[in-house]
């Protein structure tokens, strides 16, 4: 059976029921609208509105879901033994995300969060964290095209605290 998803820019995506169920948000909406896998009429007559996702982003989300629809549900460890939150990004996922510029990753992260697709959300969070890891503040600013709007006084105060921390 298929489910119709409608994006903020009115694009309709028809996806497999299993893919739709990968999103906790979509699952809840289907439940609220009495849509069930065994009731074709309910699936045909309804569509799920997703006002926070554009068609370009939705297409990427569906591509990710297609690849992972047969995955066994895995238990994520919030913190590893060393106390750091970690998530293993598979080779396919690395390849999938590697050409997305930062802005696109942020949009995808926002969509994964809204749709509650934990695997995709963690893949993106870990990927962005890896980009930031070990970088100095000016390198982070340059990489993400951040315009520094801190005043000199604020910078001085931060540097004072930073110096204490780095000492």
Partner 1 sequence: VLKMADSLAAQFAQLELPSLSWIDELPEELVWKIMDFTPESVFNMRLTCRKLKSCSDSYAMLPSSVPSIDRLRVDVQTKWCPATSMSKPSVICVSIVITSKSFKAQLFKSRLIQVYPLIMSLEGFKKRNNRREKTHHFDWEIEYEKVEDLLVTSIGRCVGKRIDYATLLDLDDFIARTVVAKIAGGKLFGTLVVQGISKLTKEIGNVLKSLTTDEIGLFDLFVGEIED
Residues of the shown chain interacting with partner 1 in the complex, contacts defined by CB under 8 A:
78-79, 82-87, 102-103, 106-107, 109-110, 113, 121, 125-126, 128-130, 132-138, 140-141, 144-150, 154-155, 158-162, 164-167
- For residue 141, the minimal CB distance to partner 1 (Å) is 4
| C-beta of 30 vs 121, nearer to partner 1 | 121
- For residue 46, the minimal CB distance to partner 1 (Å) is 29
And the tokens for 53? Answer: 């996702």
Name the residue among 146, 9, 74, 112 with its Cα closest to residue 104. 112
- For residue 10, the minimal CB distance to partner 1 (Å) is 14
What would the DSSP string read from start to end of the chain? -EEEEEETT--EEEEEHHHHHTSHHHHHHHHHTT--TT-HHHHHH-EEEETT--HHHHHHHHHHHHHHTTPPP-PPPSS-TTS----PPPHHHHHHHHT--HHHHHHHHHHHHHHT-HHHHHHHHHHHHHHHTT--HHHHHHHTT------HHHHHHHHHHHHHHH-
- For residue 152, the minimal CB distance to partner 1 (Å) is 12
| C-beta of 72 vs 166, nearer to partner 1 | 166
| C-beta of 7 vs 126, nearer to partner 1 | 126
| C-beta of 24 vs 140, nearer to partner 1 | 140
| C-beta of 2 vs 86, nearer to partner 1 | 86
- For residue 161, the minimal CB distance to partner 1 (Å) is 5
């Amino acid at each position: 059976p298929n489910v119709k998803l409608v994006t903020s820019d009115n694009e309709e995506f028809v996806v497999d029921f299993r893919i739709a169920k990968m999103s906790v948000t979509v699952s809840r909406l289907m439940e609220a609208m009495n849509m069930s896998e065994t009731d074709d009429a309910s699936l045909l007559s309804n569509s799920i509105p997703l006002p926070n996702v554009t068609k370009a982003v939705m297409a990427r989300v569906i591509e990710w879901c297609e690849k992972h629809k047969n995955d066994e549900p895995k238990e994520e460890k919030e913190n590893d033994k060393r106390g750091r939150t970690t998530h293993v990004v598979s080779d396919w996922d690395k390849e999938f995300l590697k050409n997305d510029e930062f802005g696109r990753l942020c949009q995808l992260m926002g969509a994964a969060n809204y749709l509650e697709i934990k695997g995709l959300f963690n893949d993106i969070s870990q990927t962005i964290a890896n980009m930031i890891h070990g970088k100095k503040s000016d390198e982070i600013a340059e990489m993400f095209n951040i315009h520094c709007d801190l005043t000199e006084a604020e910078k001085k105060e931060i540097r004072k605290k930073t110096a204490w921390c780095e000492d």
